[in-house]
């Protein structure tokens, strides 16, 4: 005897359909819900960065609103996928609790610009301001639009409105828990290179080409830094003509960037290109190197030594290597004089003004003679073999 019910295909379709529905509900609905709950529960101790203690919306929260309003998410994702290559580019894969306060979430789907989930600490605040006003200032070939309406004129200067300040606060909060980890990836702190190009000749023309593509926005067409970027950047972009930076030092700087300044890391570039750039940086300062070393007066340098040891060496180090006892606490770090040479006129202006945006103080009350002696001593610290 057969039950006619079981002979109807509709019965199997119903049971099968319902079964699939229940299975997917459990696998894709219930189980992630419980595991997500466990994750966010564990992260409950992390405060909601978008809300102040008194319940009002914080600067970071307002910045997030600007981010959504300006549709930055059309071009930027905020999700580091757990697949090969991603952690190398952007840091650890995204975790659920990071976006638990994000309603609506801003994962984004397209990456015309880089992923931003680990942006905290990668760039300095002034880098962001210059970049938001006009991305071509910091990144000459960028297709990102400028957002000049987040800024206003104040006399000669262009100053960020509160909205821009909020947006930067938001940027500096993206992946803030990974900040240290990211900085040790992006800017290895004690990274010194004494190596040389790994095979083949260095192509100085390629160096110039890369300089035009990547550096002129901040350092200016002639390498002396330009007015456009120095409106924003403290410290301003280094004048690479009135100083000689040895290629091995330039290579190290290009790898790690200068923490505490807008100078970015270019470690994603192929090694050969980095060396071409490093050689080009050396070339920019070539005439300074020749002129200054040949005119060095050992008599003056001798006189400058005592003064240097009392005033400068706490930061710049007894041998001039930028490693004085106070140095490790400072970002940007004091410059290493064993690997660079400054034009005396330029050095004098630094001693007069200091370097705004860094710990380098002005020494305007020092006599001209002392300035000259110290400057000669600083030059004598240069070591050709490094
Ligand atoms: C048309 C697409 C586009 C839009 C819209 C856009 N960006 Fe970008 N963004 C880019 C591209 C391309 C880059 C890489 C080149 C550069 O650095 O400018 C970039 C770079 C960035 C960077 C630098 C990341 C890093 O550290 O290298 C930040 C920060 C950023 N954008 C934030 C924003 C914010 C905030 C907005 C909205 C106000 C926005 N972007 C809108 C395309 C876009
Ligand atoms: C976003 C602006 C910006 C861009 C782009 C930029 N720089 Fe810089 N650069 C700076 C700033 C600011 C400093 C000053 C850091 C300081 O004073 O410690 C600097 C410093 C340097 C120094 C160190 C000078 C010294 O004596 O320590 C070198 C070398 C250098 N840049 C080379 C380059 C090269 C090459 C490129 C292009 C591949 C480049 N920079 C792109 C802003 C920039
Ligand atoms: C409190 C610490 C400190 C003292 C003291 C100090 N410096 Fe500096 N110096 C710095 C720091 C930090 C920088 C890096 C600034 C930068 O990144 O642009 C610097 C940078 C410099 C530069 C390079 C500026 C440039 O454009 O790259 C010169 C030259 C210099 N110092 C000379 C001296 C001399 C000479 C003395 C002694 C009379 C001295 N400094 C004393 C901290 C110090």
In tens, the pLDDT along 94-109 reads 988 888 899 899 999 8
Preceding amide of 104 cis, omega within 30: yes
pLDDT-based confidence at residue 280 (cuts at 50, 70, 90): very high
Domains of the chain: 59-178 (1.10.760.10), 204-284 (1.10.760.10), 288-380 (1.10.760.10)
Other CB atoms closer than 10 Å to residue 370's CB: what's the count?
16
Compute the distance between CA of residue 338 and CA of residue 380 in angstroms, rounded to an integer: 9
pLDDT-based confidence at residue 185 (cuts at 50, 70, 90): low
What pLDDT score does 234 carry? 93
What pLDDT score does 193 carry? 45
Which tokens in the block code for residue 141? 């070939």
Q: Is the CB of 123 under 6 A from ligand 1?
A: yes
pLDDT-based confidence at residue 190 (cuts at 50, 70, 90): very low
Mutate which of 60, 63, 74, 76 for ligand 1 pocket (most atoms within 8 A of beta carbon): 76
Compute the distance between CA of residue 259 and CA of residue 189 in angstroms, rounded to an integer: 9
- Average pLDDT of the chain? 88
Q: Which residue ranges have their beta carbon within 6 Å of ligand 2?
A: 127, 138, 211, 214-215, 217-219, 229, 233, 235-238, 243, 245, 250, 253-254, 258, 261-264, 266, 277, 281, 332, 335, 340
C-alpha pair distances (Å), 269 with each of 107, 204, 253, 254, 273: 27, 16, 13, 9, 6
Statement: residue 186 has pLDDT above 60: no
Q: Once rounded to an integer, what is the mean pLDDT over residues 2-9? A: 71
Nearest bound ligand to the CA of residue 258: 2
What pLDDT score does 6 carry? 66
Q: Once rounded to an integer, what is the mean pLDDT over residues 185-204? A: 53
Statement: residue 194 has pLDDT above 60: no
What pLDDT score does 200 carry? 57
Judge residue 343's burial from the number of C-beta atoms within 10 Å of its C-beta, 0-12 exposed, 13-18 middle, 19 or more buried: buried
């Amino acid at each position: 005897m057969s039950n006619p019910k079981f002979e109807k295909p509709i019965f199997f379709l119903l049971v099968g359909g319902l079964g699939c529905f229940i299975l997917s509900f459990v696998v894709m609905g219930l189980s992630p819900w419980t595991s997500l709950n466990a994750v966010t529960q564990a992260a409950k101790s992390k405060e909601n960065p978008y809300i102040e203690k008194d319940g009002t919306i914080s600067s970071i929260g307002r910045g997030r609103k600007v981010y959504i309003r300006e549709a930055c998410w059309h071009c930027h994702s905020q999700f580091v996928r757990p697949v090969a290559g991603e952690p190398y580019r952007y840091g650890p894969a995204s975790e659920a609790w990071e976006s638990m306060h994000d309603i609506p979430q801003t994962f984004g789907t397209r990456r015309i610009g880089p992923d931003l989930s680990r942006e905290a600490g990668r760039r300095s605040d002034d880098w962001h301001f210059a970049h938001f006003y006009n991305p071509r200032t910091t990144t000459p070939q960028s297709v990102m639009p400028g957002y000049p309406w987040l800024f206003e004129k104040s006399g000669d200067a262009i100053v960020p409105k509160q909205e821009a300040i909020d947006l930067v606060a938001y940027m500096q909060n993206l992946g803030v828990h990974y900040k240290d980890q990211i900085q040790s990836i992006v800017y290895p702190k004690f990274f010194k290179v004494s190596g040389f190009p790994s095979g083949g000749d260095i192509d100085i023309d390629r160096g110039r080409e890369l300089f035009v593509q990547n550096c002129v926005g901040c350092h200016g067409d002639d390498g002396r830094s330009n007015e456009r970027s120095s409106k924003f950047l403290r410290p301003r972009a280094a004048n690479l003509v009135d100083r000689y930076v040895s290629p091995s030092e330039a290579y190290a700087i290009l790898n790690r960037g200068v923490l505490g300044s807008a100078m970015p890391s270019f470690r994603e570039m192929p090694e050969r290109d980095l060396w071409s750039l490093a050689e080009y940086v050396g070339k920019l300062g070539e005439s300074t190197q020749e002129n200054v070393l040949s005119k060095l007066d050992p008599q003056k340098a001798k006189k400058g030594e005592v003064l240097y040891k009392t005033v400068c060496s706490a930061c710049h180090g007894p041998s001039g290597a930028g490693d004085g006892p106070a140095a490790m606490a400072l970002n940007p770090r004091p410059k290493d004089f064993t690997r660079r040479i400054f034009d005396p006129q330029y050095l004098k202006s630094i001693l007069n003004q200091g370097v705004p945006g860094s710990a380098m103080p002005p020494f305007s009350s020092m006599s001209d003679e002392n300035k000259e002696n110290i400057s000669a001593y600083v030059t004598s610290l240069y070591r050709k073999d490094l």
